[in-house]
């Protein structure tokens, strides 16, 4: 078990820098910058808090899947996650649908191994997925490819 997982209480601080720009850090002491779009009063100079949630989801489930694949000695060269989401139209504009696409590049990677790693992440390990699943329907797909081509957001 990682040290950060064993500590029950977490703390964070978030500071307003200018207009709608904020900087925040938590126990790891790494700062993250957030900003709103220009239309929302920000500069559009950083990732929005809602975008960070999707990135956190990808990082959480991705860490699980990679860890499980490595423990099972499943060979792969590259791993990428594409996430798309829909939000409610009225406030609070929570995510209501999230689609996660797991893409694994590897010649001898077995689809069944990848799907089992994803299932373990989704059903047991990924706390971000568990939280977002309270408001959103989360679905996923998995593809094994020869190589991952350039991605776009």
Residue 115 is part of a domain; what is its CATH number?
A: 3.30.300.20
Please state which of the ranges 2-6, 65-69, 74-78, 107-111 shows the lowest mean pLDDT.
2-6
- Averaged pLDDT for residues 9-32: 97
Domain identity same for 101 and 54: yes
Instruction: Please give the model's pTM, rounded to 2 decimal places.
Output: 0.90
Domain identity same for 23 and 91: no
Domain identity same for 114 and 67: yes
Domain identity same for 7 and 77: no
Task: Count other Cβ atoms within 10 Å, centred on residue 88.
Answer: 13
pLDDT for residue 1 is more than 50? no
Q: Which helix (H) or strand (E) holds 22?
A: strand 21-26
Domain identity same for 22 and 95: no
Please, are residues 53 and 95 in contact by the beta-carbon 8 Å criterion? Answer: yes
Task: Count other Cβ atoms within 10 Å, centred on residue 138.
Answer: 20
Domain identity same for 86 and 22: no
Domain identity same for 32 and 53: no
Domain-located, residue 30: yes
Domain identity same for 69 and 109: yes
Instruction: Tally the domains of the chain.
Output: 2
b/e per residue 99-125 (b: at least 16 CB within 10 A): ebebbbbbeebeeebbebbbeebbeeb
Domain identity same for 61 and 28: no
Contacts (Cβ under 8 Å, ≥6 apart) of 94: 87, 88, 135, 136
Domain-located, residue 153: no
- Helix (H, G, I), strand (E, B), or coil: what is residue 45? coil
Q: Which range of residues forms the domain containing residue 18?
A: 3-40
What confidence tens digit (pLDDT) does each residue in 119-130 have?
A: 999 999 999 999
Please state which of the ranges 6-15, 24-33, 46-55, 87-96 shows the lowest mean pLDDT.
6-15
């Amino acid at each position: 078990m990682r040290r950060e997982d064993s500590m029950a209480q977490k703390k964070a601080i978030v500071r307003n820098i200018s207009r709608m720009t904020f900087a925040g850090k938590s126990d790891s002491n790494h700062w993250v910058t957030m900003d709103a779009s220009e239309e929302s009063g920000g500069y559009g100079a950083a990732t929005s808090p809602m975008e960070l949630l999707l990135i956190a989801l990808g990082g959480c489930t991705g860490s699980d899947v990679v860890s499980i694949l490595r423990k099972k000695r499943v060979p792969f060269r590259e791993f990428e996650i594409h996430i798309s989401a829909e939000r409610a139209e009225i406030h609070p504009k929570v995510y209501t649908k999230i689609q996660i696409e797991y893409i694994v590049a590897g010649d001898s990677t077995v689809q069944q191994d990848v799907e089992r790693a994803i299932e373990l992440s989704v059903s047991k390990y990924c706390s971000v997925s568990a939280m977002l699943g309270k408001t959103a329907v989360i679905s996923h797909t998995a593809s094994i490819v020869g190589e991952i081509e350039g991605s776009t957001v």
